[in-house]
Amino acid sequence: MLSLKFIREKSELVKTSLSGKNTSVDIDALLQLDATRRSDLQEVEQLRAEKNRVSGDIAEKKKDGENAEADIIAMREVAAEIKSVEERLKTTEEQIQSQIYFIPNYIHESVPRGKTENDNVVVREWGDKPEFDFAPKDHVELGKSLGLLDFKGAVKMAGSGFPLYTGLGAKLERSLINFMLDFHIQHHGYLELFPPFLAQRNAMQNTGQLPKFEEDMYRIPEDGLYCIPTAEVPVTNIHQGEILSEDELPKKYAAYSACFRREAGSYGKDTKGLTRLHQFNKVELVKFTHPQHSYAELESLVENAEAVLQALGLHYRIIELCSGDLSFSAAKCYDIEVWSPAEGKYLEVSSCSNFENFQARRAEIRFRNKETGKAELLHTLNGSGVATPRLMIALLETGQQENGFIKLPEALHPYMQQEKLIP
């Protein structure tokens, strides 16, 4: 979250960022609450000093055998006033906290301004769009003909929006996950984690999912737990409340997890096949970095994620998100979109974001500055490296042959122990 000090000192920047992210929060009202809080803090400190002084006078008078009744009455009055101000202060602070958690991160100055995804900027493309001498089939038809996917079976188990991979489809999904984990560990120096798929409320709050996006979460109320929407949540919280050594930075983690999202706001969006799911698999990349290096680390993060698609020979593009399309917690973000030949459009498979100290402040994650010896908030970053459903779409559709075979990328041969999928 943003600190009150930051909001107070850079209120116009915060207001501009709110407008840029199409979010409405009354910053002036919040600052008035902050002014009231600071006034009450000053008053309670003065009253406590007065109470201490009177207590000293009472002790001296009792020591000298003097009557201290008037001072005792005065001290009780001061104590009652302190209690009253403290209660008022507590109410004000609760009001501030209830509002400040709904204020999104500020927008980095380099982010292009715009209202919707139509204003996003194409940074670069890689590879060529595949061309076919026949009418390409979509992943749903391919998955059915090859026995890779069973959407009807999944509906019997959990309803719509949940995939069921079967036979070589299940093996391909598992192979993609293992390939990506191995790739990031061996080529990019990430440490592998296998985190829980459930998280406590405070962990969700630390990464910015709560309280704003509670309707998108799957909950287990009796245990106070949430199904994670991404491994970003547990992995970021691994250093919750810690002070890291500056020499440890950057710390880089790669983690596989299932991801659960109710997609409460997805009405009207494309939900065909694997395009938009309530449960899906993803390899997540998380970095803890020095503030001075976080934007260089963001560029590196994007390169790490896109290298997966290059290794699989899939055409993709990098998009820099405009202000209006930025997520709640991100200061800057790039999306990686892979090409779907059958749909004739790009599908997002990764978002790579720099949150600066937004998450670190919530989770109290700091590093010890070697020069000053002081503990400072570090910067957190994360990106999908990558999500499997739309990757599977592109892989099946790009690799399809006229005879119905699916040609597999060479990088997957050791994992699949075969070079193609045969109907």
Q: Give the active site residue among 351, 353, 362, 366.
A: 351
Average pLDDT estimate for 158-177: 97
Is 261 a known active-site residue?
yes
CA distance 228 to 217: 8
Q: Give the active site residue among 8, 38, 276, 361.
A: 276
Instruction: Assess whether pLDDT exceeds 60 at residue 138.
Output: yes
pLDDT digits (tens, 9 = 90+) for 392-417: 999 999 999 999 999 999 999 999 99
Average pLDDT estimate for 123-145: 96
Q: Give the active site residue among 37, 261, 362, 366.
A: 261
For β-strands 316-320 and 332-340, DSSP reports them as antiparallel
Q: Give the active site residue among 50, 348, 364, 376.
A: 348
CA distance 144 to 234: 35
Average pLDDT estimate for 84-88: 93
The percent of residues in the chain predicted with pLDDT above 70, rounded, is: 99
CA distance 316 to 312: 11
Is 351 a known active-site residue?
yes
Is 368 a known active-site residue?
no
Instruction: Assess whether pLDDT exceeds 80 at residue 315.
Output: yes
Instruction: Copy the structure tokens of residue 409.
Output: 């990328």
Is 348 a known active-site residue?
yes
Average per-residue pLDDT for the chain: 94
Boundaries of CATH 1.10.287.40 in the chain? 4-100
Question: Hey, what CATH topology would domain 4-100 get?
Answer: Helix Hairpins (1.10.287)
* Lowest-confidence segment of 93-97, 164-168, 185-189 by average pLDDT: 93-97
CATH class of the domain comprising 117-421: alpha beta
* pLDDT band, residue 53 (cuts 50/70/90): confident
Judge residue 247's burial from the number of C-beta atoms within 10 Å of its C-beta, 0-12 exposed, 13-18 middle, 19 or more buried: exposed
pLDDT digits (tens, 9 = 90+) for 325-362: 999 999 999 999 999 999 999 999 999 999 999 999 99
Boundaries of CATH 3.30.930.10 in the chain? 117-421
